[in-house]
Structure formats: structure tokens, C-alpha cells
Amino acid sequence: MEFDDLYQEIILDHYRSPRNKRPLPHIPDEQVHENPACGDNVKLEIKINADNFITDISFDGSGCAINTASTSMMTELLIGKSRSEALELTGQFLTILRGEMSPELLDAWGDLTSLKHVVSFPVRVKCATLAWNAVHQLLSQN
Ligand code: ZN
């Protein structure tokens, strides 16, 4: 798989220094989300305040570069957003990654622009969307 050098650099930066990744020993193993196709796994913790704003998202687990970078970028995007904004953003990202909206939209999403070529690699789409699916579900439930 080939990415433009710039995109590759952004992805590797998040992979090597993931944002908001920390041990979450109190999150039970039943809440680990897995992508068996690649071996990615992730635990997530979302903190939402009384006004329904996300004050923190942290994650732990092990994944490939695309998986870890995508999760790291997601935490940066969603912290500070309201629950409804976050639901909309995660829903939109998943729609884009399914190929149902233009990947060029990600150009307006900061570092996430580096993932727009992933759409062309169905196997990698699962890596990129694992944590987004999980967060989208968690936000719709609670
Ligand atoms: Zn992966």
C-alpha cells in the first residue's frame, strides 16, 4: 500500500506517539473491540459531563499503524465535542470509509486527511474504523 509521504508521516507520528492512549485496567476484557482480520484490539473510555460534552476519551490496546493512528486522531477530534456532534462526526467518518461519501471531505478534518486513501483498501478500512464503530455505538447507547 502506498501513501503520499506526508500522509505516511502523519500516520506514523500518531502510531509512534498515540494521543490519549493510556492503560485502562478497570475496563473489563469483555469490552475489548477486535478486528480479527488484522489482529487489532482496542478498549475505550469516554467521559461525558452533565452538559453532554465529551471531556475525555482514552484508549488502550494493540493495533497496526492504521488502527492506532485512526484511534489516536479520533480522540483528538472528539474531545470537547458534544455527544450529538460526536455522533454525527463518527457517523460521517464511517460513511466516508464505506465509500458512500467523498474521501476528500476528510481534507477538512486535520490529521484525518491522511486516512483518505484507506477507502481504496477494504482490508484496511476495518482497521481504520474499529474504534470509530465502537465509539459511535457507545454514544448511541448511553
Ligand atoms: Zn489493522
pLDDT digits (tens, 9 = 90+) for 59-68: 999 999 999 9
Q: How much distance in Å is there from the Cα of 64 to the middle of ligand 1?
A: 4
Q: Are 78 and 137 in contact (CB under 8 A)?
A: no
CB half-sphere exposure, 132, CA atoms < 13 A: 26
Q: What is the pTM of this model?
A: 0.95
pLDDT of amino acid 142: 62
DSSP calls for 81-128: -BHHHHHHHHHHHHHHHTTSS-GGGGGGSGGGGGGGGGGG-HHHHHHH
Q: How much distance in Å is there from the Cα of 139 to the middle of ligand 1?
A: 23
Residue 17 or residue 141, greater confidence: 17
Looking at this protein, which amino acid is placed at residue 19?
R
Q: How much distance in Å is there from the Cα of 8 to the middle of ligand 1?
A: 15
Cell numbers describing residue 50: 452533565
Q: How much distance in Å is there from the Cα of 50 to the middle of ligand 1?
A: 35
pLDDT band at 4, cuts 50/70/90?
A: confident
Q: Does residue 3 carry a pLDDT above 90? A: no
Cell numbers describing residue 14: 500518531
Rounded average pLDDT over 1-17: 85
Percent of the chain having pLDDT more than 90?
A: 94
Question: Which phi and psi angles does 47 have, rounded to 5°?
Answer: -110, 125
Q: How much distance in Å is there from the Cα of 120 to the middle of ligand 1?
A: 15
- Cα(64)–Cα(90) distance, integer angstroms: 20
* Burial classification of residue 127, based on how many CB atoms lie within 10 Å of its CB (0-12 exposed, 13-18 middle, 19 or more buried): buried
- Cα(142)–Cα(138) distance, integer angstroms: 6
Q: How much distance in Å is there from the Cα of 105 to the middle of ligand 1?
A: 23
- Cα(41)–Cα(116) distance, integer angstroms: 22
Q: How much distance in Å is there from the Cα of 61 to the middle of ligand 1?
A: 12
Q: How much distance in Å is there from the Cα of 51 to the middle of ligand 1?
A: 35
pLDDT of amino acid 6: 85
Q: How much distance in Å is there from the Cα of 126 to the middle of ligand 1?
A: 7
Q: Does residue 126 carry a pLDDT above 90? A: yes
- Cα(79)–Cα(98) distance, integer angstroms: 24
pLDDT of amino acid 60: 97
